[in-house]
Copies of this chain bind each other. A is one copy, B any other.
Amino acid sequence: MQNTSQRAARIVSRCRELARLTDVPGETTRLFLSPATRDAHTLLTWWMREAGLESSTDDIGNVRAVRRAAEDNAPTLLLFSHIDTVPNAGAFDGPLGVLLALEAMEELRHTPLPFHLELIAFSEEEGVRFAFPFLSSLALTGQLAEEHLARTDADGVSVAEALRHFGLDPARAAETARCSPNTFAALEVHIEQGPVLEAEDASLAVVEAIVGQSRFKLFFEGTANHAGTTPMALRHDALVAASNFIVETERYAANYTQLVATVGRIEALPGAMNVVPGAVHCTLDVRHPRDESRHAAVAHLLTKAQSAADHYGVKVTATLLSEQRAVPMDQALTQKLHNAAERTGVNALQLFSGAGHDSMIVAPHIPTTMLFVRSPGGISHNPAEDVREQDVAAALDTVINFLMHLHPHHP
């Protein structure tokens, strides 16, 4: 029997072991259905066996292991995260949730629970190989379609072909990758990938919702003119108008703690040192946990763009590129997760997730809750991505406590 800090150390060291399994030597890049993913499956399967769990692989490539309850017809609680990575990734985005869940299952090996415990290591979340994310959680929730299987990677290999090449049967993926019948709840543990917990000096946060998002491209159209011969008063400088909009966007969003608004791309045309910019292309990304607040912010910011443009005699058009509704986590489960943290003596914050996660796909189908673990420096998608063992220990304690107090029939 191990104590929590030993288990936390093993979680961290196993994440780092997995990070050595890579498609690109010298970094951590482990794409969906790649050779490194096969290696990761082998190692993960071995760790599951050590924990007394037999595993199987479903036909989307997820590794699954079940710890059965005494009663065969008990419902199932699902623990999940993903083991694919972005290019040149860190060790914890995804694997932390899988290995922490495995440790919790081993710790509870001899503790009777009124539900089956299923761990699923999702094979695809990041969307790198097929330029499309969440294939595993889409399959889990019955949303995997033929069009997904037909998507091709950079080499022209389809998802279906890649599955076959991995020894799986794409024709059965929609069926075998579904969640187990009678799954009544799901829990994902994930690193925060942001700086809030560190700034607040907290180890953990329960996630209230995954924010909704609106993305626009904006086009400011003024008049390109000679930078020497055109007096300021006779200019229609598209970059000055766009800059005014960018400044106002930051100023407005800074007033609302749950709102983030970002201009990430900008291009001024013609882009010569001695020419007044005649046109500017830029993007706007707005996120908020409440859809109505996001819509209000978007409306306000687009009005700001228009008034900035008007002020400088410039035209502006905004085109919606994508929109995603906020996804709330299950309130009752989230409250229970919060209570579990409290009982273990950890002050867990309540946060919104500004990034997308599998929980966003799962939550509309299965009551879902999510636990964030502090990201030192807020760094993620980067080899410097890290966790603190004490935070991992706090998360493990919280998950174990949560599982021990959960009663499927009294939610």
Residues of B within 8 A of A196 (CB): 229, 231, 234
Q: Is A226 engaged at the interface, CB distance under 8 Å to the other chain? A: yes
Residues of B within 8 A of A192 (CB): 229
In the complex the two chains form, is A231's CB within 8 Å of B260's CB?
Answer: yes
In the complex the two chains form, is B234's CB within 8 Å of A195's CB?
Answer: yes
Given contacts A211-B228, A353-B229, contact A264 B273 (CB under 8 A): yes
In the complex the two chains form, is B264's CB within 8 Å of A266's CB?
Answer: no
Task: List A228-244 residues whose CB lies under 8 Å from chain B.
Answer: 228-234, 237, 239-240, 242-244
**Which of B226, B264, B271 is the one whose CB lies under 8 Å from A380?**
B226
Task: List A211-233 residues whose CB lies under 8 Å from chain B.
Answer: 211, 213, 215, 225-233
Nearest to A193 among chain B residues (CB) is B229
Residues of B within 8 A of A265 (CB): 268, 271-273
Q: Is A39 engaged at the interface, CB distance under 8 Å to the other chain? A: no
Residue of A227, A239, A261, A276 with most chain B CB atoms under a 10 A cut-off: A227
In the complex the two chains form, is A273's CB within 8 Å of B285's CB?
Answer: yes
In the complex the two chains form, is B274's CB within 8 Å of A227's CB?
Answer: no
Nearest to A277 among chain B residues (CB) is B264
Residue of A193, A254, A262, A275 with most chain B CB atoms under a 10 A cut-off: A262
In the complex the two chains form, is A215's CB within 8 Å of B263's CB?
Answer: no
**Which of B226, B247, B260, B275 is the one whose CB lies under 8 Å from A247?**
B247
Given contacts A239-B266, A273-B264, contact A254 B228 (CB under 8 A): no
Q: Is A376 engaged at the interface, CB distance under 8 Å to the other chain? A: no
Q: Is A355 engaged at the interface, CB distance under 8 Å to the other chain? A: yes
Place the interface of chain A in its size category.
Answer: 35 or more
Q: Give min CB distance, A135 to chain B, whole Å.
A: 20
**Which of B213, B354, B356, B381 is the one whose CB lies under 8 Å from A230?**
B354
In the complex the two chains form, is A268's CB within 8 Å of B268's CB?
Answer: no
Secondary structure at chain A's binding surface: helix, strand, loop or mixed?
mixed
Q: Give min CB distance, A259 to chain B, whole Å.
A: 7
In the complex the two chains form, is B193's CB within 8 Å of A226's CB?
Answer: yes
Q: Give min CB distance, A193 to chain B, whole Å.
A: 5
Q: Is A400 engaged at the interface, CB distance under 8 Å to the other chain? A: no
In the complex the two chains form, is B227's CB within 8 Å of A260's CB?
Answer: yes
Q: Is A406 engaged at the interface, CB distance under 8 Å to the other chain? A: no
In the complex the two chains form, is B194's CB within 8 Å of A226's CB?
Answer: yes
Q: Is A88 engaged at the interface, CB distance under 8 Å to the other chain? A: no
In the complex the two chains form, is A233's CB within 8 Å of B260's CB?
Answer: no
Q: Contact mask A371-385 → B, CB, 8 Å, 1/0? A: 000000010110000
Task: List A165-215 residues whose CB lies under 8 Å from chain B.
Answer: 192-196, 199, 211, 213, 215
Known: A228-B285, A240-B247, A264-B273. 18 other contacts (CB 8 A): A192-B229, A194-B225, A194-B230, A213-B228, A226-B354, A227-B287, A228-B356, A231-B260, A232-B259, A240-B250, A243-B244, A263-B268, A263-B277, A264-B272, A264-B277, A265-B272, A265-B273, A273-B285
The 8 closest A-B pairs by CB, nearest first: A194-B229, A228-B354, A243-B243, A227-B262, A243-B246, A229-B354, A232-B254, A273-B283
Seen from chain A, the residues whose Cβ lies within 8 Å of a Cβ on chain B are 192-196, 199, 211, 213, 215, 225-234, 237, 239-240, 242-244, 246-247, 250, 253-254, 257, 259-268, 271-277, 283, 285, 287, 321, 353-356, 378, 380-381
